[in-house]
A and B are shown apart, each in its own frame.
Chain A
Amino acid sequence: MTTYVMRRIIQAIPIVFGISILIFLIVQLAPGDPTDRFRTPRVRPETIANLIRLYGLDRPLPEQYFSWITAFFQVWRVECWGYSLKTGEPVRDMIFGRLPNTALLMGTAEIVTILFAIPIGIVAAVKQYSLLDKVISVFATIGYAIPSFILGIYVMYFGGVVLGWFPLFGMQSLGKSGEPLDIAWHLVLPVTSLAIQSIAGWARYVRTSMLETMHQDYVRTARAKGLAGSRVIGKHALRNALLPVVTLLGLALPSLVAGAVITESIFSYPGIGSLTINSVTANDFPVIYAVGMLVGIFVILGNLLADVLYGLVDPRIKY
């Protein structure tokens, strides 16, 4: 187990470097450079030249890459991820300031998803081919196919305009900073729109997995020896059927950090997703670099976690 984890971590290192080179190259290939916003008729060319030297833009590309990537991993230093070109804030503080918001939003959405998706999937599997199963299946297909921004707008419209019960934007009301109830109130709509889509996906997954398990010999044996149906399903089948679901938990890890770009920006939620959109709009390179690297690293960590978790809960898997 330990050797397996070590080997996976060692394998992940080149991929992290690959991601960093990819992000670096995209930004380098892009037309223009960070001094563009100073290039106005009133700024003398010498000033621009000085800026280019100050930023180190005249140095060879490998050298620029090297100084960026070495600074990037020194997270304990304030300047590790550079300063925002837009606000001048340290990028590290900007991201760390928004991380809890995104983790709150995505975490809540994931908990809601699990709470709904697992029972729905089980019911659909147990009552296979029934009317209920078909209804669930239709809703799951549609819910999964609706693009997240359409879902976001429609949820916003029904919850905020037609019903008028929930706030349309943001994370807290003015003058009520940090009241848990107020934040929860603001979370309802974005969480709903995030959860509908993932419930649809997960429920189908749970259903398939449950059906597979229910056709196995040991489940038939449990039935044959006269065990009550609920006990067969709840105790015998369910535990094995939920094994693959554990993998999904690991794979959901990166979204806790990355947030949901589209949903966050629809609801103007102050998380990493809307930070991404804002910095892409403003060509704020340092923020984009940092978010990209962070998300990439967490995707790799999530994959690793999924595999390790699967090995932990399923003793049949040997590394």
Chain B
Amino acid sequence: MERADLTTPLASGALAGAPAEIDEVDLVPVRTYWQMVRERFMQHRLAVMSLVILAVLIVFSIAVPALTGDAYRRSNLAYVDAGPSLTAPLGYNEIGQNQSVALMKATQNSLIIGFVSVLIIGSIGSLVGSIAGYAGGWVDNLLMRAVDVVLSLPFFFLILIIVAFFGVGDVRVIIIAIGITGWTVAARLVRAEFLRIREADYVQAARALGVGHRRIIVRHMLPSAMAPLVVACALGVADAIITEAALSYLGFGIARPEPSLGNMLNNAREYFYANPERIFYPGILLILLVLCASFLGDGLRDALDPRQKVKA
């Protein structure tokens, strides 16, 4: 809009009296969808900041464990409860493990679990949602009742049961448990989008041309449902990270010596009185991760899907 205004005086001034509409149309720079998305995203300062912080955390959580090898699990009794130093900015814990290296490894684990389980959530969600929205009728009804059933059980309770029964401390089980319980919201979003565009002209045109069902779903309709899906996934990363940390905190998730923000927090809690600062390292890192992911989600929502914009 702003650029269109800029061009108007130029067009009307240079070619006074000439039919202005043609020139105006020609002079407005064509902006693709993605350019507009980027512009809208950059306006969301918190989201940009979150993206930067997340990027830094991702780089550190990949680089530090890669450079230090298994230092996060090695304990050195000479360093028990040692204070901060150059190689260990956060000091050592009660069995002489380097806290900062362990924290970075834990972040890595959190991020991997967050991203992989969101991949599962997105796949199942878009599969179920698109089939329900495209087919309609009894298929839709059946699938949506399945969504109701899963939603009727508290998310964490369901995950707890699955993890407890299928393998405590197994990262794969945690990822699958988060994935197969968390897809309901994504499925509802995709279905709603499919219901909206099912009778749209371009979809009907594709149908009239004899395009197969699968191709219509994947190539013509899914891209339209991408915006809400991506937003749901960004917020899903935050939920998945919290869930993993809570499971590990309760002793059902990742077990020591493999560090997780949850089990580090649980361990630090035992040294409440002696080393209270230790409960803050994993805790604040976790809050930072979660806040960044949710701000990123908000920013993406405003950028990708301006219709959904919530007035804050």
Contacts and interface: CB of A to CB of B under 8 A. Distances in A.
Contacts of A299: 151-154
Nearest to A282: B164
The majority secondary structure among interface residues of chain B is: helix
A265 B250 contact: yes
Interface string A276-299: 110011010000100110011001
B286 A150 contact: yes
B60 interface: no
B148 A18 contact: yes
Interface stretch (A26-34, A49-57, A62-70, A236-244): A26-34
A281 B164 contact: yes
A27 B165 CA distance: 7
Interface residues of B, number: 41
Interface in A255-290: 258, 261-262, 265, 276-277, 280-281, 283, 288
Contacts of A18: 145-146, 148-149, 152
A153 interface: yes
Nearest to A28: B165
B102 interface: no
Interface string B267-310: 00100110010010001001100110010000000000000000
A283 B165 contact: yes
Nearest to B167: A31
A300 B287 contact: no
Contacts, number: 109
Contacts of B157: 258, 261, 276, 291-292, 295
B250 A262 contact: yes
Interface stretch (B19-27, B77-85, B212-220, B241-249): B241-249
A23 B283 CA distance: 33
Given A145-B287, A150-B286, A292 B153 contact: yes
Main secondary structure of the interface of A (DSSP, over half): helix
A142 interface: yes
Nearest to A303: B152
Contact of A154 (B149, B166, B283): B283
A147 B164 contact: no
Interface of B: 145-146, 148-154, 156-158, 160-162, 164-166, 238, 242, 245-246, 249-252, 262, 265, 269, 272-273, 276, 279, 283, 286-287, 290-291, 294, 311-312
Task: Give the 7 A-B residue pairs with the shortest CB-CB distance, closest first.
Answer: A30-B165, A18-B149, A280-B164, A147-B242, A299-B152, A150-B283, A296-B152
15 contacts: A15-B145, A18-B149, A22-B149, A23-B161, A30-B166, A142-B287, A147-B286, A157-B279, A161-B276, A261-B157, A262-B249, A281-B251, A292-B161, A299-B152, A299-B153
Interface of A: 14-15, 18-19, 22-23, 26-27, 29-31, 137, 141-142, 145-150, 153-154, 157, 161-162, 211, 254, 258, 261-262, 265, 276-277, 280-281, 283, 288, 291-292, 295-296, 299-300
